[in-house]
């Protein structure tokens, strides 16, 4: 039993604990090339949440990892069988209910730990700050906690070297042999503004990639994944510690 994992702990422990920051892992259920499981985003974000919270707990801060949300926004993959989709409006409704519970029990800091590129919580956080001004909510894409270039030759965007290496470390039994993987070759937008990223839309996934991957998975190794994940969880543990130990009225500095 880990006291910082809500699903594992119990009422006797929880009622006597003063938690300082909640962590909500949010993933997705979607295809990840031929060699990776549909639950890739969930396995990654929940593992990272647990490891980072554990490291922060050892330093004396009190995080609480909430049960993860395993469906994300997949409106660009609706033609891929069983890529499960939650609309952003549904995500906001879920977040309002979660934050309401936290507020009722005096836990006024929430990290949404995101594990899926299609999830975007920025405008939701703006609305949450209007509805629950006493609760601080922020959003972290876990995979951006460290610089990819220090660990990977060609990290990729989806089921490429980075994600494949990560799951090889987290759940190797769920990764098929790399010779079964597709190359993850992807098309880009023709209009220059969309290609350069200063015009924004969603990608229609089956127009972009044949195997649902975006990025070359073949250089991936479990060893690369371990080094990268350790660095990510160290970085996230530092953030959890800082946020947990900083009063809300002292978040800003000169």
pLDDT reported for residue 56: 98
| Whole-angstrom distance, CA of residue 220 vs CA of residue 211 | 17
Report the relative pairing of strands 21-26 and 109-114 from DSSP bridges: parallel
The burial class, CB within 10 Å (0-12 / 13-18 / 19+), for 251 is: exposed
pLDDT reported for residue 108: 98
Task: Find out whether 155 and 162 touch, Cβ atoms under 8 Å.
Answer: yes
Q: What is the residue extent of each domain of the chain?
A: 11-249
Tell the CATH topology of 11-249. Rossmann fold (3.40.50)
| 78-88 average pLDDT score | 97
Q: What is the pLDDT of residues 27-73, one digit of tens each?
A: 999 999 999 999 999 999 999 999 999 999 999 999 999 999 999 99
């Amino acid at each position: 039993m880990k006291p910082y994992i809500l699903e594992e702990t119990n009422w006797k422990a929880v009622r006597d604990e003063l938690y300082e920051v909640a962590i909500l892992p949010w993933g997705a259920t979607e295809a990840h090339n031929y060699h990776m499981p549909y639950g890739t985003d969930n396995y990654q974000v929940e593992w990272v949440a647990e490891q980072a919270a554990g490291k922060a707990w050892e330093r004396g801060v009190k995080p609480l990892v909430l049960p993860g949300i395993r469906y994300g926004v997949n409106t660009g993959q609706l033609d891929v069988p069983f890529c499960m989709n939650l609309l952003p409006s549904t995500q906001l409704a879920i977040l309002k209910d979660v934050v309401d519970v936290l507020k009722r029990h005096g836990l006024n800091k929430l990290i949404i730990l995101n594990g899926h590129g299609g999830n975007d919580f920025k405008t939701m956080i703006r609305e949450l700050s209007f509805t629950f001004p006493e609760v601080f909510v922020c959003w972290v894409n876990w995979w951006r906690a460290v610089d990819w270039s220090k660990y990977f030759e060609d990290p990729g965007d989806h089921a490429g070297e980075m994600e494949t290496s990560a799951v090889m470390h987290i759940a190797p039994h769920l990764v098929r042999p790399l010779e079964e993987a597709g190359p993850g070759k992807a098309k880009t937008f023709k209009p220059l503004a969309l290609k350069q990223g200063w015009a924004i839309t969603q990608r229609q996934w089956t127009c972009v990639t044949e195997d649902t991957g975006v990025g070359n998975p073949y250089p991936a190794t479990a060893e690369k994944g371990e080094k990268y994940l350790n660095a990510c969880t160290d970085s996230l543990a530092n953030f959890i510690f800082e946020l947990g130990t900083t009063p809300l009225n002292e978040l800003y500095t000169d």
